[in-house]
Structure 1
Amino acid sequence: MITRKILSSIVSDLDKGKVLIVTGPRQVGKTTILRELAQQMQRPTLWLNCDEPDDRANLEKVSSTQLRALVGANQLLFIDEAQRVPDIGLTLKLLVDQLPDVQTIVTGSSALELAGGIHEPLTGRKFEYRLLPFSTAELVAETSQREERRLLEQRLIYGFYPEVVLHPAEAERRLAELADSYLYKDILRLQDIRKPAVLQKLLVALALQVGSEVSFYELSQTVGTDPATVERYIGLLEQAFVVFQVGALSRNLRNELKKSKKIFFYDTGIRNAIIKNFNPLSLRADAGALWENFMITERIKANLYAGKRSAYYFWRTTQQQEIDWLEEERGQLRAFEFKWNPKAKARFPASFQEAYPNTEMAVVSPDNYMNWLI
């Protein structure tokens, strides 16, 4: 059992009169966390799996009286795959308000319906957590920094999904299954996707452009649809925790790019599975882009699990000056350049340093990356 960083946060938030909501991609271990929590708490527990029609029906359009009868003497209520229940937010509101002695913990494998169905009814009644594939810090805690350094190339190529980390000999097969069976499951079921082939082409195009600025118009020409459809599909892929967008920082200089976007994958293994490329780094032309995507997602995990509320950007000017990654927390900027080759030169443009004084700056390579992740 590899202990997840958010588990201690969940335990500390128990019994505070809130519903606890864990969201994240499919197959990252949300149900496993509930099982571990149940084992730790040793309380009478009711499990409901909303992939099961009868469990789902028990939570649809119910009264507080029906909920009391359903929960009975149980003190913990686990609701798995809660996004499957229509208007789940109203049901959870009843649970919090009418059954205050019952601690409800909810998981959702997609933000598609869960996010839209809970926020308004549960205002002031919830704590939220996001669970992503394993982080470097979680694996270091299980093994060691030395072991994870040895496995760095494997992590870049195959990623951090538990299925892959725990079964490295079957990494390609399991990644292919994840990409084919789970990547689109929530999107295709919960949204009106009339052109799934376009969605697949779009994913391939995004995977090939990772780390580069993207244009919705150019992507639409590549995949054979209109820019509005591209924008909508990328939004759905974000909600399903497949990719995320990062905008450009633009505040102080006239020549800064203002509307540019980059798109990264939450897991480099999924990205490589989409383009069916598991070649070693020595045979790849995209090692630098993989390293950038890897470090960015690992920094996001590290900040997320440390409770930091950072804003993220990249920076570029019309003169092609650029910085890979910027983080802002409480007004403090940090700037990062990610170099796969430790001997590669990296310079932070003087114009950036003049425009954003007091910014912390670091060049991150395989020689020092652990300093920024644990």
Structure 2
Amino acid sequence: MIERTLEPVLRQKCQESKIVVLKGARRTGRLTLLSRIFNLEDPNVGIIDCSNKKERKSMDSITQLKSFSRDKKVIIIRDAQLLETLQEYIDFAIELNSLENLILICSFEPELHEDLWEALREQGLELNVFPVSYSESAKFHGLVQEDKSLEQRLIFGYYPEVVMQEDQAERIVSEIIESSIFTQLGASERINKKENLIKLLRHLAFNIGKVISFNDLGKKCGLDNETVERYVKLFAKANLLVLISSYNNGHRYELKKSHVVYFLDNGIRNGLIRAFQPLEFRNDVEELWKNLVISERYKANQYAGKTPEVFFWLTHTKQEVDYLEINGNEAFGTKMSWDDSKKIKVPASFQELYPQIKVTGISKKTFWTFLRK
């Protein structure tokens, strides 16, 4: 079993607090992670699967939930955002002395009182589970072997089942998209136009790293621009997408109020457009490399407890810096290239405008160093 970076943090939080929220896309290994901390076969551990309509209906009333919980020490609620009486149940669980832990597994953010969210976030009790990271896989397989597998990762990504069953990767990615991505966002964020959503995600997949227009996407997908923007931001909050804004200080030619999108997993991106061809037959290798580098940096920052501001920089004359990270007074930028033999050039105009921000090139040789920066 691949050792997850989040395990010791989650273990500590479960010891310190009764309530922990474990967010992440389905099939990223959330329940597997919990099985490392709790014995899920123990009769004192109760699991409620709200993704199962029959099971959710059987626990639909607060009376049934209370009855189920009274002889349990640990309650785990899967897809807790779908439970309509969730806030009422949490109020009950907090006062139930016999209950030691209530773990809320969420694909999307549940509706809870704002003061409860504030308390959970202040204490670091909202934790994110991502697909396996490069560093987790490298620790399991060895760094040399993981570097050899980078081409596989560019195509099929890092979902746990994909990493562990590489010969079944295409089938597994397709299953994940069908069973996990096209679901309702939550009690108040239902997606009723599945076909429009599929079109939107596919357009985003074809345009990773390119400036997007919510208005243009809406016209292509049969949605208004406000709905497109809302869906994109919701999927960013749900750890499916990474949404990055343009960086500017009002200088001439700089793009303003623009966005680019990357997927948090390369496999999901490729699965949406059914593009599983080997790299030698593709014309999007550089885009795949940028997607992987940025998504891995995002995971690394999250697991390290860092929340820097991230941007891209682009001018109307096509001068570009792929990625900027600003954390307080510290800032750096990167240009990325999959081709190690290609010399990475930093735009002279950027260096003149922002001499305090050092920009470096990221290739396969410097990738690991960048993630640990």
Asked if these proteins are the same fold (TM beyond 0.5), I'd say yes
| CA distance 1:74–1:180, shift in 2 (3 Å) | closer
Deviation at 1:216, TM superposition (A): 1.6
For 1:170 and 1:66, how far apart are their aligned partners in 2?
Answer: 39
Deviations 1:6-40 (A, max 9, x none): 11111122332351111111111111111111049
1:314 and 1:324 mapped to 2: Cα distance?
A: 5
Matches within 5 A, 1:152-163: 152-163=150-161
Distance 2:192 2:334 in 1: 40
Output the amino acid matched with 2:270. Answer: N
**Is 2:13 the counterpart of 1:13?**
yes
Equivalent residue number for residue 366 of structure 2: 368
CA distance in 2, matches of 1:255, 1:4: 44
Question: Residue 124 in 1 paired to residue 119 in 2?
Answer: yes
Shift of residue 325, structure 1, vs aligned partner: 0.5
Q: Mark the CA change 1:189 to 1:180 in structure 2 (over 3 Å): closer, same or farther.
A: farther
- Taking only the aligned residue pairs, the percentage that are identical comes to 30
TM-superposed deviation, 1:295: 0.5
RMSD: 2.8
Aligned to 1:49: 49
Match of 1:13, SS state, is helix
Q: 1:165 to 1:326 in 2, by over 3 A?
A: same
Partners of 1:130 and 1:121 lie apart in 2 by 18
2:83 counterpart residue number: 85
Q: 1:354 to 1:96 in 2, by over 3 A?
A: farther
Which deviations, in whole Å up to 9, do the C-alpha atoms of 1:202-235 show, x marking residues without a partner? 2221111111101122223333443233323323
The alpha-carbon deviation at position 168 of structure 1 amounts to 0.9
Q: Any conservation in 2 of the 1:59–1:88 contact (CA below 8 Å)? A: no
Deviation readout 1:295-354 (Å, 9 max, x if unpaired) = 000000111111112221111123322100011223311211111111222222333334
Structure-2 separation of matches of 1:250 and 1:6: 35
Which ranges in structure 1 are unaligned for 5 or more consecutive residues? none
The number of equivalent residue pairs is 369
Q: Which amino acid aligns with 1:337?
A: K
How far 1:58 moved relative to its partner?
Answer: 7.3
Decide which of 87, 104, 108 is 1:110's aligned counterpart.
108
Does residue 1:184 correspond to 2:182, yes or no?
yes
TM-score by length of 2: 0.89
Partner SS state of residue 243, structure 2: strand
The 3 A distance-change label for structure 1 pair 66 and 183 is: closer
Q: Which amino acid in structure 1 is aligned with residue 2 of structure 2?
A: I
Structure 1 residue 243: Cα displacement: 2.0
> Structure 1 residues 303, 240: closer, same or farther in 2, change over 3 A?
closer
Q: Residue 35 of structure 1 corresponds to which residue in structure 2? A: 35
Residues 59 and 91, structure 1, Cα contact 8 Å, conserved in 2: no
CA distance in 2 between counterparts of 1:55 and 1:125 reads 27
Unaligned runs of 5+ in 2: none
Amino acid in structure 2 at the alignment position of 1:27: R
TM-score by structure 1 length? 0.89
Matches within 5 A, 1:1-374: 1-39=1-39, 44-52=44-52, 56=56, 62=62, 67=66, 70-99=68-97, 102-111=100-109, 114=110, 116-117=111-112, 119-125=114-120, 127-187=125-185, 191-251=189-249, 253-374=251-372
Contact map agreement 2:39 2:45 (CA 8 A) in 1: no
CA distance, structure 2, for counterparts of residue 133 and residue 148 of structure 1: 15
Bigger shift: residues 205-214 or 252-261: 252-261
1:54 & 1:215 partners in 2: Cα distance? 41
Deviation at 1:253, TM superposition (A): 2.8
The SS at the match of 1:37 is coil
The letter for the 2-side match of 1:124 is A
Describe the shift of the 1:244–1:102 C-alpha distance in structure 2 as closer, same or farther (beyond 3 A): same
